[in-house]
Amino acid sequence: MPKRSENYPQEYIDYITKLVLDENLKCTDVARDQGISVKNIYRWKTAEQKRRSEADQAQDYKTPSEYQEREKELLKTYTRTRRGKSDSKKRPRTSFRTTKCSLPVHL
pLDDT in tens, 83-95: 765 555 556 565 5
* Predicted pLDDT at 66: 81
Q: Report the distance separating Cα 20 and Cα 7, nearest Å.
A: 19
* Predicted pLDDT at 2: 43
Query: Can you state the angle between helices 27-34 and 10-21, rounded to 10 degrees?
Result: 140
The answer to whether 53 touches 45, Cβ cutoff 8 Å, is: no
For the chain, how many helices (H) and strands (E)? 4, 0
pLDDT in tens, 34-49: 999 999 999 999 999 9
Task: Calculate the average pLDDT of the chain.
Answer: 80
Mean of pLDDT values over 58-64 = 71
* Predicted pLDDT at 74: 87
Could you tell me the residue ranges of all domains in the chain? 1-82
